[in-house]
Amino acid sequence: MQNALLYQAYGGQDFVNECRYSLLKYLQVYNLTPPVHTGIVVYTDTPNAFADFQPFLPYLSTRPLTKDRVQQWRGTINFVHRVKIEMLIDFLRTFEGNVLYCDTDTYLTAPIQPVFENIGKGVFYLHAYEGVIDKTLSPSFHKWENFLSTTPIRFNDKELQFSPSLKMYNAGVVGLRHANKAILHDVLALTDAVYAQFPKHIAEQFAFSYCMQTSGTVQTAENEVAHYWNLKEFRRLLQRFFTANAEESIPNLIKKLNAIDAMAIQAEKNAYENLPLLQRLIRQLSGKAWKIAPYEKRL
């Protein structure tokens, strides 16, 4: 196996459903004929949830993710996103190819082979570019700039070199090759150092962004991988979808996917949230606020 897609489906049915949806979309992209040189590995506490994919994804495997291991991987800082880094380190102890980690709330929109080819050349991948950590250009990062520009941070005998030209990337997707696995130990140490002093939920995202851009070339996977991170309501839709279609085969589930296009739904939600406050208030008072419930009628 030359390439691997890596998932973490742990901690409840919502994450399992998201991962199953992502696997269905993967098979849809490849018309039920996925590339034989790419495997899929799911770290999970519910391996049986993926058994029905095996005939269509012969290179799918699961690895046990227990409560004790998750707690260990959260570290002394008890940070949930630290688990992602530890899982990548664990996986690359035995896998010697190119890996693309994907959050469960992602799915392929195009064939992924070009991404793996670039990873094999040493390119790092993250999901999307979010801006430079310069509060004059990206006001949403003003707290980050204030912290990083005034706080000495050491990790693995290195000192963080802050510059307002540092780029922040979304880490819902993380890609690297086995030969570059040592960078993950810097990502882990930097996450620990930052979170201990500045406990923000994107500490690991910053650590990936910093270490990868200061060690090589970073490209984004947003043209190949969709990430519906701002649509937690979609979990309700997935629960209804998989419950209503519990007896359907994988090919039939794929045929039904058009009824629940996560990115199309997120675009409609975003359009509503971007309306002027008065327009949103009028819609709320008239019962026309954006809700997930109408999409359930499509199932």
Over residues 23-57, the pLDDT tens digits come to 999 999 999 999 999 999 999 999 999 999 999 99
Last residue of a domain, one of 227, 247, 279: 227
Kindly report the CATH number assigned to the domain that includes residue 94. Answer: 3.90.550.10
* DSSP alpha helix (H) spans, the chain: 13-29, 67-74, 82-91, 113-120, 142-150, 183-197, 203-213, 234-244, 250-255, 262-273, 277-285, 293-296
Q: Average the pLDDT over 264-277 and give the result.
A: 92
In terms of domains, do 239 and 212 share one?
no
280 has a pLDDT exceeding 90: no
Report the distance separating Cα 135 and Cα 145, nearest Å. Answer: 7
In terms of domains, do 176 and 247 share one?
no
In terms of domains, do 63 and 152 share one?
yes
- DSSP string over 223-276: TTEEE-TT-TTHHHHHHHHHHHTTT--HHHHHHTGGG--HHHHHHHHHHHHTS-
In terms of domains, do 209 and 289 share one?
no
In terms of domains, do 139 and 279 share one?
no
The total number of structural domains in the chain stands at 2
In terms of domains, do 286 and 156 share one?
no
Which residues make beta-bridge pairs with 220?
126
Last residue of a domain, one of 227, 252, 270: 227
Nearest to 67 by CA among 19, 8, 6, 11: 11
In terms of domains, do 247 and 286 share one?
yes
By the 8 A CB rule, do 7 and 43 touch?
A: yes
Q: What is the pTM of this model?
A: 0.95
The parent domain of residue 249 ranges over 234-296
By the 8 A CB rule, do 134 and 145 touch?
A: yes
In terms of domains, do 284 and 253 share one?
yes
* pLDDT number for residue 278: 85
Last residue of a domain, one of 171, 195, 227: 227
Over residues 182-201, the pLDDT tens digits come to 999 999 999 999 999 999 99
In terms of domains, do 214 and 238 share one?
no
Report the distance separating Cα 36 and Cα 33, nearest Å. Answer: 9
Report the distance separating Cα 57 and Cα 23, nearest Å. Answer: 9
**DSSP-based three-state secondary structure for 87:** helix
In terms of domains, do 216 and 283 share one?
no
